[in-house]
Amino acid sequence: MKIFLDTAEVADIRKYAAWGVIDGVTTNPSLIAKSGRVFEEVIEEICSIVDGPISAEVTSVETEGMVEEGTRLAGIHENVVIKVPLIPTGLAATKALAAKGIKTNVTLCFSATQALLAAKAGATMVSPFIGRLDDLGERGMALIEDIVRTFRNYPTLKTEVLVASIRNTDHVRQAALLGADISTIPPKIMDKMVGHHMTDKGLAAFLADWETRATGAPTS
């Protein structure tokens, strides 16, 4: 499973990219607006850090506007993927962008039938928001299972399943077990994924033992 980082904070992207495990980045206008920087400049900088798909979201909700905006954003870098909302005009825009050879990430997906429509429109990726479904008392991972199984039934559908709105490390674990193509993970969850108290305990014991041997002190 590919791991994307879900943030527009350049410092965080540099930090986790240094781990060597980041395959791409997802952003949205709200995340970039918080930085106070120019949208296009941030996307270009992110592309210089991570050599993989970088999602940049359109703000228009009309097909023509989405296609125009998406075409402009795609010109920033070859790795830019255009995020388009899963609405009727978004599906039409996805079809038009795909015809231009522009990759798309159809976002705000909450049902398997929506995902099927996105795939039929030519989406490169579709982003089901599992955390928001969990918030409503539904089981978000059930949606991932449905979409993965549906896409596997039809090998001609090449759309990747990108698990979004991840709230905990178990979401990542379940996404991998279900065979999702990608999980986009917030920085705080990345930290939780790498940490484990037994790792810390084992490392501390190893270092203490090594220090004892190095100084020649007797071991207990």
CA dihedral 105, 110, 112, 118 (to 10 degrees): -30
- Alpha-carbon separation of residue 140 from 115, 129, 187 (angstroms): 14, 7, 20
CA dihedral 41, 44, 48, 54 (to 10 degrees): 130
Concatenated DSSP letters of 187-206: HHHHHHHH--HHHHHHHHHH
The torsion angles phi and psi of 81, rounded to 5 degrees, stand at: -115, 130
**Is residue 2 among the annotated active site residues?**
no
- Alpha-carbon separation of residue 125 from 138, 145, 193, 209 (angstroms): 23, 16, 24, 49
Return the structure tokens found at 153: 């039934």
The catalytic position among 2, 15, 34, 83 is 83
Q: Which residue has the tokens 């009309």?
A: 62
Return the structure tokens found at 215: 């100084």
d(CA 70, CA 98): 11
Catalytic machinery residues = 83
